[in-house]
Chain A
Amino acid sequence: MAGEPGSFANRWKRFSDWDERPLRLDKFAVEDAENGFASFVSRHDPKPALSLGSGVVEVMDGTAARDFDMIDTFIARYHIDPEVAPEAMAKPSHEVARMLVDMNVPRSELVRLARGMTPAKLAEVVAELSSLEIAFAYGKMRARKTPGNQAHVTNAKDDPLQMAADAATAVAFGFDEVETTMRVARNAWSNAVACAVGSAVGRWGTLFQCSSEEAEELKIGMAGFTSYAETVSVYGTEKSFIDGDDTPWSKAFLAAAYASRGIKMRCTSGAGSELLMGFHEKKSLLYLEARCLCLQRAMGVQGTQNGGIDGAPITCTVPGGMRELMAENLIAVWLDLECASGNDARPTESEIRVGAKIMPFLIAGSDLICSGFGSILKYDNSFNPSLLNGEELEDYLVLQRDFEADGGLTPVEETRVLAIRTRAVEAISAVLEELGLAKPTDDMKASVVAASGSDETRSYLPRDVALISESIKERAITVVDVIKALAKRGFAEEAENLLRLVRLRISGDYLQTSAMVRDGRVLSAINDPNDYLGPGTGYRISKSRRDEIVAIRDVLTREEVLRAESVHKPAESKRISYRTMGPAAAGGDAREVVIGISPAFGIKLFQTVAGHPLSAILRELIAGITEGGASARVVRMKHTADTSFLGLSAARLAGSGVGIGIQAKGTAVIHQKDRLPHNNLELFSNSPITRLEHYRRMGANAAAYARGELPEPVVVPMRGEAMGSRYHARVSLIYAIETELASEGAVPEEVALVFLGDAA
């Protein structure tokens, strides 16, 4: 090509556009198994293998028993079932993979086989599956039939008033579990009391945990404030485990200790933790996770918080990272563990990646879809922001509605949320006062009830909270004291709710796999087992549950749209009158442009979707036509409401052969009598962004066509707004009003306009 070298840009500017998108804040890592960055495959991963000698594991995944590390030892002793192992290990992995996605193979059969499989075998099998197959298998294999969800409830000030209000709000939205943690470690006791009280508002049964240092957490549980624990972390390499300051035996001891206190417990593990801790042994993320999960089954915990968790962000930097997170969750449920399936630590700044990440779990369901949906605002999340947060909670409610998928949440009306928050703040304030811990003022309470986040509160600060918290601990205040305080101060319902929750401990029913409380009943993998065997089986949304899910706020109805329209009638009647002059005839004036208005124009509908009064639209069109040197005549079409036919019918009546068709919603067209219906001269299809000046210029252009000229078409500038999503529901309802008034064969009617005193 001719031209100076360098006269062209050195960059396509789209890359600069892309640079500005939130996605580019995410950093991606090259696949590099030697340095731990491999999701599914590393050449250092062992091949699946198992040999047994008189019921004892002699070699597992390439390692002889004498060389077993602690994790191997524990898995070999407590996970591997020698009765099943020979059969399970002999099955080709691709065959087992097919069983996982075969709706005719029951879950129980696969769970049986998993008991005889080594970590490398489990990893090899799920690696055969595509993301779609993993999601499907997950839906089939998860232990409990009914899906649930868990909320994070924390705030940046550790403020107990806000903690209680937000816990109650989370409960109202339907979360089955609430998890809190603190900005300042010593505030654990205050957080525990506040969340316990808050989650007793409105209904009973939401399980609650306070994530803190192991010993402290167990003590808080012993005092009766919490009902479960999930921060018992395990790791896939021995060195990571030791750096995590535990061993499989110490963690298993802790698991037994929680059981002995009647507290539900699950472990935590997730891809990337070993990589973050520096001891990945060059193994793939999935293989290490398979070890963690076998270990958890071996320890006898009922479930796991699994799927990257704190390691999710680093896992998502690797190719296949999100698929790996799904795959490890599948191994968890295949091992018959309750799965709180991650979807917590926010692994991306891209809202598209966020939405994509949650989708498989939303449609497959999970025991707890998020192991911490941030029910509060991002900056208030003391765990760090979650995949989904208070900001995005409504998006999630709409996703449930879109896919008719039960994500565990339920829309709540504004007035109810306010009432719940008020009640929670009053309840915790009463407890703090009654126990002599603090005296919240009315201003503090009022600020918390209304606040979306802690930036907006005038309440306790971390130091104030430390005093409250230390006092609870030192005085050995227990849940019994709190229940009594609630009852004494008139919060009998909350006292009763809290007592019911603590009373669950006696039977231990909620210690079983995947237990939660729904409608006052313990529901677990035992009395609500996932029985998926194809369409019509497994979890199906009931009619009543569907009614709950679809009831999001601000949904249009025909009545509301009509009411909204009729509001404008009185004002319009002061601006314009439409006088009917009988059937319209063809005009003879070669400079005449006919404006064809739609059947309901000015009769039942009074403004465009952009909010312009129809009188103003007509004024502008007529002014434009007149300024263009033509004359305007208005005709009401009664046989059609379609823009093209309005325009064409008008053109055929016009002496110039040029007409304008306009619907009440503001969609307008310039037409010419010899053209095909949908081959117009100019079209304003985006009425919501069409301004009055555009209509005036449309009038002028119609006049120019009438004169036989070719004017510059009027282009209504569009910036890529999703017009359909914003307006189509309303527009369809409005348009239906037009079509209702149209009747086939009805003749066009001459209209004489009188513009009255009030201009729009």
Chain B
Amino acid sequence: MSGERLTIADYPLAEKRPEIVRGKRGKGVDEITLQALIEDRVALEDLRITATALRQQAEIARAAGRDTLAENFERGSELVDVPQDTIMRIYELLRPGRAQSPEALFAAARELREQYGAEGMAAFVEEAAAVYEKRGLFKRRF
């Protein structure tokens, strides 16, 4: 992107702005064909969304007046490169009674921040830790 701010006029991106739509390994929509897939020139990796695409959709959501949706897309953009197992581990930790103290959540937040640069997501997990403490969620449930 060249610093321009996307608007609802750019939506749907795949239709209106195909030149900026790129898969994980840089392939455009027109390159992701059945033939390419059969010839192994396209893999599942090429069919994954990118952090850029999520930030673009966040801009569009914001232009449409949907701030909270935009924030979710932005949080999502931070998780694009976080491995599945890590995501599931942190999700599990956020469930009630999994963490026995705020420290476990703080550690997860550090991991998100330091390893993946997921600043917003880390702050979100820290916020959860504070609320859980206040509401007494750090206790064993099963």
Contact = CB atoms under 8 A, between A and B. Distances in A.
Contacts of B70: 300
B8 interface: yes
A508 B95 contact: no
Interface string B101-140: 0000000000000000000010011011001100101000
Nearest to A249: B128
Contacts of B127: 249
Given A260-B76, A484-B38, A507-B21, A253 B57 contact: no
A247 B94 contact: yes
Given A300-B72, A300-B75, A521-B15, A511 B57 contact: yes
A81 B76 CA distance: 22
Interface stretch (A8-16, A131-139, A498-506, A633-641): A498-506
A433 interface: no
Interface string B43-69: 110111110011011001100111111
Interface in A479-517: 479-480, 483-484, 487-488, 492, 495-496, 499, 502-509, 511-513
A258 interface: yes
Interface in A231-253: 238, 241-242, 245-247, 249-250, 252-253
Contacts of A400: none
A505 B47 contact: yes
A260 B64 contact: no
A218 interface: yes
A686 interface: no
A222 B64 CA distance: 28
A241 B135 CA distance: 13
A305 to B, nearest CB: 17
A151 interface: no
Given A260-B54, A512-B61, A78 B68 contact: yes
A507 B29 contact: yes
Contact of A261 (B33, B49, B75): B49
Main secondary structure on A side of the interface with B: helix
Interface in A45-104: 69-70, 73, 78-79, 81
A108 B65 contact: yes
Contacts of B132: 247, 249
Given A259-B75, A509-B14, A511-B73, A70 B53 contact: no
A257 B79 CA distance: 6
Interface stretch (A382-390, A454-462, A522-530, A620-628): A522-530
Contact of B44 (A108, A224, A245): A224
Contacts of B66: 302, 336, 513
Report the interface size class on chain B: 35 or more
Main secondary structure on B side of the interface with A: helix
Interface string A598-642: 000000000000000000000000000000000000000000000
Contacts of B76: 255-260
B125 A260 contact: no
B47 A218 contact: no
Question: Which of A219, A260, A300, A502 has the most chain B CB atoms closer than 10 A to its own CB?
Answer: A260
Interface in B1-51: 8, 11-15, 21-23, 29, 32-34, 37-38, 42-44, 46-50
A245 B77 CA distance: 26
Contacts of A483: 34, 37
Contacts of B32: 499, 503, 506
Contacts of B38: 484, 487-488
Contacts of B15: 509, 521-522
B79 A260 contact: yes
Interface of B: 8, 11-15, 21-23, 29, 32-34, 37-38, 42-44, 46-50, 53-54, 56-57, 60-61, 64-73, 75-80, 82, 84, 87-88, 90-92, 94-97, 121, 124-125, 127-128, 131-132, 135, 137, 141
20 contacts: A78-B68, A111-B65, A218-B87, A245-B95, A247-B131, A247-B137, A253-B91, A253-B125, A259-B77, A259-B79, A260-B80, A297-B68, A300-B68, A301-B72, A480-B47, A496-B34, A505-B49, A506-B29, A524-B11, A527-B12
Interface of A: 69-70, 73, 78-79, 81, 108, 111-112, 214-215, 218-219, 222-224, 238, 241-242, 245-247, 249-250, 252-262, 297-302, 336, 478-480, 483-484, 487-488, 492, 495-496, 499, 502-509, 511-513, 521-522, 524-527
Sort A-B residue pairs by CB-CB distance and give the 3 closest, nearest first.
Answer: A300-B72, A259-B76, A262-B49
